[in-house]
Amino acid sequence: MSGVRVLVGTRKGAFVLTSDGKREKWDVSGPHFPGWEIYHLKGSPADQDRLYASQCSGWFGQVIQRSVDGGATWEPVGNEFSYRGEPGTHQWYDGTPHPWEFARVWHLEPSLDDPDTVYAGVEDAGLFRSTDGGRHWQELPGLREHKSGPSWQPGAGGMCLHTIILDPSRPGRIFAAISAAGAFRSDDAGETWRPVNRGLRSEGIPDSDAEVGHCVHNLAMHPSRPSVLYMQKHWDVMRSDDAGESWREVSGDLPTDFGFPIDVHAHEPETVYVVPITSDSYHFPPEGRLRVYRSRTGGDEWEPLTKGLPQEHCYVNVLRDAMAVDSLDSCGIYFGTTGGQVYASADAGDNWEPIVRDLPAVLSVEVQTLSGTGH
């Protein structure tokens, strides 16, 4: 017996959506932590019942929640995120130096093989790790202390470390992405880092192909080919075939190459999904038509996927962590919108159905493919 568990973080709580392998009927649980912003939830690849959630509030700050029973119950764990040493400054929006200040956890990335180890990407940009199930957090300061750090500037949503990818074939290799600094890679388990942004061009910075300063929105990797990376940048969809050493644009025939999430089919490393958004000024789909675009050629050639998605009067956005894929034989694709809909396709994007329509604005969507022993 197999099934899926979709973990949805919203502006006003978390929701857990479960179904069997057919993905036709859904059980909706939530809101968990009602009234709090849930930036991200994610399950451990090593233990499907171990989940972590980032819960925060402008009033009460950051809380980390952990579940050991697949989201049925939760317990708050450690929430002290202190930068190591004297954190120094980065640039503020107006170009003046601004002290590094912790605001919130944007992304939680559990270890591939240890349920008690989890990474946290935070605003202001930094990478933390817990090795005791979230009770205590230690910064891996090599990223923040990169020589370019004092020049980093926040993107519109804050200076956030929003993407963490662990390379399954090469222990110790970690990719991270920061708005608006760019993509970075470590080959020594997070001790040292270097920018991997060669080939990116951004019009909004003084030197359009600078080493850092690019507003990378999201990265994706297929685990069977970890040297191939896909990137949704502020503008431009990019691809690297050499683990980030160089990038080339694969926006091809997309109607617009602005957007936030990007993901890869679970079984087809050359099949990629994006959600084109009109522009940085208009954070909604072109022509009010919500279309996922799929490339089966690793980019450049894209097809719109529209069956079951609203094709008129649709002005929602899909945020960077709000798309995910399951690994059932017929790959499922999921995404959530700022209008509170979570859409699912059980056939790789050909047909879509809303699982729920009226949640608070969706901040993140993750999916777990469950074996029969889970809760």
Partner 1 sequence: MIRVALPAHLRSLARVHGEVTLDVAGQVTQCSVLDALEARYPMLRGTIRDQRTRKRRAFIRFFACEQDLSHEQPDAPLPEAVVAGAEPYLIVGAMAGG
* Binding residues for partner 1 (CB under 8 A): 33-36, 57-63, 76, 79-80, 82
Number of other residues whose CB lies within 10 A of the CB of residue 341: 21
Burial class of residue 29 (count of CB atoms within 10 Å of its CB; 0-12, 13-18, 19+)? middle
Q: Nearer Cβ to partner 1, position 78 or 255?
A: 78
Least CB distance to partner 1 at residue 359 (A): 17
Burial class (CB in 10 A: 0-12, 13-18, 19+), 344: buried
Task: In angstroms, give the least distance from the CB of 78 to partner 1.
Answer: 9
Using alpha carbons, list the distances in angstroms from residue 73 to 49, 63, 370: 11, 15, 18
Q: Work out how close the CB of 74 gets to partner 1 at its nearest, in angstroms, rounded to a whole number.
A: 11
Measuring CA to CA, which residue among 134, 129, 224 is closest to residue 174? 129
Closest to partner 1 by CB, 58 vs 206, is 58
Whichever of 166 and 363 has its CB closer to partner 1, that residue is 363
d(CA 62, CA 77): 11
Residue among 64 and 196 whose Cβ is closer to partner 1: 64
CB 243 within 8 A of CB 291: no
Name residues whose C-beta falls within 8 Å of residue 188's C-beta, 6 or more positions apart in sequence: 172
Structure tokens at 149: 């750090």
The separation between CA 82 and the C-alpha centre of its own chain, rounded to angstroms, equals: 23
Q: How far is the CB of 132 from partner 1 (least distance, A)?
A: 15
Nearer Cβ to partner 1 (86/203): 86
Least Cβ distance, residue 81 to partner 1 (angstroms): 9
Give me the least distance between CB of 133 and partner 1, in Å please.
15
- Smaller CB distance to partner 1: residue 176 or 362? 362
